[in-house]
Structure 1
Amino acid sequence: MMRVLHIVSTFARAEDDTQVPWLVELVHRLHARGIECAVLAPAYKGLRDHSIAGIPVYRFRYAPARLETLTHESGAPNRLKKNPLLFLLVVPYLIAGIARAGVLNRSHRFDVIHVHWPLPHMVFGMVARGRARTRLVATFYGAEIRFARWLPLMTSVLRWLMRPSDALIAIAPFVAREVEQTLGRRAHVIPYWSRVPTAAAPRAREHTTHELLAVGRLIERKGYEYLLCALSLIPAPLDARLTIVGRGQERARLDALCDELGITARVRWSADLSDKALARLYDECRVFVHPSIVDRGGDTESVGIVLLEAMSHACPIVATRVGGIPDVIEDGVTGLLVAEKDPRALANAITRLLTDTDLAQRLGAAAYRRAQALMNWDQSVDALLRVYAGEEP
């Protein structure tokens, strides 16, 4: 039986945790294929070793419990950009992670070490492998590439870190292009999908309320401030209301913006929903909005798993033309694309879908068909197993 250690920066802290659901699903599916998986992740507020659905999750402690917040929730790159004092935790984080990875590989003798978010986690894999024949694989999600560009000399460090890797993986074509441009190496495109149940078939959305939905962490690159401004511009007779599902460090600022715009009563916030509850929101919304931007640190959307979730529920979609979004949404075919940071353009596109039922239904049905063609877990797992074996995916 093949043994694989997944080294990650974030992983579910409990069975009902909503962190990185696609990664949790990937590990479960590998386990179902007979792969013996284990996960190494940083502790969060003192969290110790545990298991998720029978998968062992090893947590390395790197600070007193109250300070162990570098990862999870908003993610390390966003936290570091927001609070540079957190860089003081980086060295103990690296030391603790390297030490635990080394101990785990010596005791378990993994066949593959799969590093997710390889900046800085590839160093964990390098040291853990040592001189063994363990295969070293790295998956890029995009944020690490952009973070490397944001810090002086970090791109050179990332190139050095990647030298011993046996294979590189990117979760989307956009990320693969970034990897090749930055590192000069080819990355295999192997997407990971959501575990949110898909709709059985597209259906008409004949609701009396004009409910809008957005899903994602409350961080700058999600562009929620522009969506809130757009909501205030939608004609009053439509009585559009917005539900935002997510948590993060931008919540207080967004609440203040709602008060300033006079839309507090029209915005509902939710967090930590079950897959079933989230699927119901996708089914009930009139328009799904994904207003992502390129943030001040140059980070943006790589693929948008929530876009694919919305498409799999035949949601009419309005999204911005940034990052890997145009690889998923074809303007006028599977959704409407607008320029980033443009509340008026967002408002106009949303209004168009709220008032043109035929267009909304047509775009939603096309999005559903594209999602069915794209979201194939078996294909992704097959490709990953070939990479683990040293073959072309």
Structure 2
Amino acid sequence: MSQYVSRISTGLAPRLRLPGTHRRPRRVAMLSVHTSPLHQPGTGDAGGMNVYIVELAKRLAAINIEVEIFTRATAGGLPDSVELAPGVLVRHVDAGPYEGLAKEDLPGQLCAFTHGVMRAWARQRPGHYDLVHSHYWLSGHVGWLAAERWRVPLVHAMHTMAKVKNAALAEGDTPEPPSRVIGETQIVNAADRLIANTPEEAGELVRFYDADPDRVAVVYPGVNLDRFRPTTAVVDAASGTGGTAGTGGTADGPASAVADAIAARDRLGVPRDAFVPLFAGRIQPLKAPDVLLRAVAILLERAPALRSLLYVPVVGGPSGSGLAKPEGLQKLAARLGLADVVHFHPPVGQDLLADWFRAASVLVMPSYSESFGLVAIEAQATGTPVVAAAVGGLPVAVQDGRTGFLVQGHDPVDYADGLQRLLEDPALAARMGAAAARHAQSFGWDASAAATADVYASAMAEHRRRVRSHHV
């Protein structure tokens, strides 16, 4: 049995759950109300959850579980359905205005969204869906009603939780409203199974929401290892045959050992010999990109000569509470005197994002809250070490001292210290990059999909037992 699925006991210690011989679903209705799997991650509310849904759905289809993803239409004229991949269908539901509707206003559109889901279901034969899998609390409320109406189990993934976010707010960030807390509590009580990304998240469900430990399953997210893969430089560095341009080290190995990293930098217009601390993600206080900028300013205070070696890319767009001040990070860079070293880039597709990871010396994730931190695994899969906050799932994603550094808190000085260690010791950076690539190999989406299918099967078996007991 894989490491990917475990139940949590009342003592919050993960224990292995054998999948048994329960029947898997033939077709799953997957709900993603507030963000479409067709949207570009890094724009608006699209982020790691989008990647999660797309990759999971594709891998489920590959093991003969069809997936239909319901999402809110955000533009006029969209087709009713789009085939995302063989066995994966995206259904657009009209609910509220197509544009300009903030996520905070979406609860008022859940009735309209539910109506659209029910209309689509009514066109199908009885028993069309075997199970509902909802993502994020807004989808959970639709899933709750749909699962009861269709008499099928509800599996829910929180992705983020209001109580957890409110317990670790960034300065100036907006707390999640009480209505979301109430909504999440209702979903926890209604769901047949809750999928948590890590044992830590499973524990939070129990501590903050009084979830039944026997209904919580831990399934680690995956990474597309075909897309996010190490460069030749990292592979050679692991065997001690050469350096890597990706960490700012010297290219003292064979020409092939640094060719891939150099090629990525050339494609992106990044100087070949630069030290490149990368931020990639949605620009909002929760993700704390300002901490990276302040850490870079500290590095320059310590050693002004570094200015000519620094290239700091920020790849992503404003999101969440960051939309209130979309130019805030650029203004901060100017105030800190970093306008010449910080380079802002719009969100990019997954293939180009992999190039950014290859080109980077280190990925920096100073987030205040992360249910898992998928970006950290993607970067490591390309052989790039990570400096990250020790929050949420990041201690699972990053092995402190081996694949990067975990920082307690959000003091820019601590992040500057981590960056300085990698900058001053290219051999350490190369070793960490090689270890990171090996570590990421254990996070494949195929294993995540198989584990999720086991959760589905368990939920269906328990649901059948409950229905039979009610008819006795």
TM bracket, shorter-chain basis:
0.7 to 0.9
Provide the rounded CA distance (Å) in 2 between the counterparts of 1:145 and 1:184: 13
* Aligned residue identity for 1:53: A
User: Is 1:23 paired with 2:53?
Assistant: yes
User: What is the CA-CA distance between 1:257 and the residue it aligns to?
Assistant: 0.6
User: Is 1:243 paired with 2:261?
Assistant: no
- The higher-RCO structure (CA 8 Å, 6+ apart) is 2
* Aligned residue identity for 1:177: G
User: What is the CA-CA distance between 1:270 and the residue it aligns to?
Assistant: 1.9
User: What is the CA-CA distance between 1:148 and the residue it aligns to?
Assistant: 8.6
Contact 2:56-2:448 within 8 A present in 1 as well:
no
* Aligned residue identity for 1:389: A
User: Is 1:53 paired with 2:85?
Assistant: yes
Compare 211-220 and 149-158 and name the one that shifted more.
149-158
Partner of 2:184: 158
Unaligned stretches of 5+ in structure 2? 1-24, 168-175, 236-242, 249-272, 462-472
Q: Deviation string for 1:232-283 (max 9, x for gaps)?
A: 1212322322111111143410011111111112111222323222212211
Partner of 1:2: 26
Change (3 A) 1:122 1:353: same
Contact 2:135-2:157 within 8 A present in 1 as well:
yes
Partner of 1:225: 290
Unaligned stretches of 5+ in structure 1? 71-75, 81-86, 294-299
Partner of 1:193: 222
Change (3 A) 1:17 1:216: closer
Partner of 1:383: 451
User: What is the CA-CA distance between 1:331 and the residue it aligns to?
Assistant: 2.2
Provide the rounded CA distance (Å) in 2 between the counterparts of 1:282 and 1:153: 38
Contact 1:205-1:284 within 8 A present in 2 as well:
no
Q: How does 1:126-275 map to 2 (within 5 A)?
A: 126-144=144-162, 146=164, 150-152=176-178, 154-181=180-207, 182-186=209-213, 187-195=216-224, 196-199=227-230, 202-203=234-235, 204-206=243-245, 207=248, 208-234=273-299, 235-238=303-306, 239-249=309-319, 250=322, 251-275=326-350
Name which one, 1 or 2, has greater alpha-carbon Rg: 2
Q: Secondary structure in 2 aligned to 1:390?
A: helix
Change (3 A) 1:310 1:37: same
Partner of 1:40: 70
User: What is the CA-CA distance between 1:303 and the residue it aligns to?
Assistant: 1.3
User: Is 1:114 paired with 2:147?
Assistant: no
Provide the rounded CA distance (Å) in 1 between the counterparts of 2:71 and 2:77: 10
Compare 151-160 and 251-260 and name the one that shifted more.
151-160
Partner of 2:110: 94
Q: How does 1:301-316 map to 2 (within 5 A)?
A: 301-316=370-385
User: Is 1:11 paired with 2:22?
Assistant: no
RMSD: 2.5
TM-score by length of 2: 0.72
Contact 1:142-1:178 within 8 A present in 2 as well:
no
Q: Secondary structure in 2 aligned to 1:383?
A: helix
Q: Secondary structure in 2 aligned to 1:105?
A: helix
Contact 2:275-2:361 within 8 A present in 1 as well:
yes
* Aligned residue identity for 1:246: G
Percent of pairs identical after alignment?
28
Change (3 A) 1:114 1:144: farther
TM-score by length of 1: 0.85
Provide the rounded CA distance (Å) in 1 between the counterparts of 2:40 and 2:422: 37
How many pairs were matched up?
367
Q: Secondary structure in 2 aligned to 1:28?
A: helix
Q: Secondary structure in 1 aligned to 2:68?
A: strand
Compare 380-389 and 103-112 and name the one that shifted more.
103-112
Q: Secondary structure in 2 aligned to 1:210?
A: coil
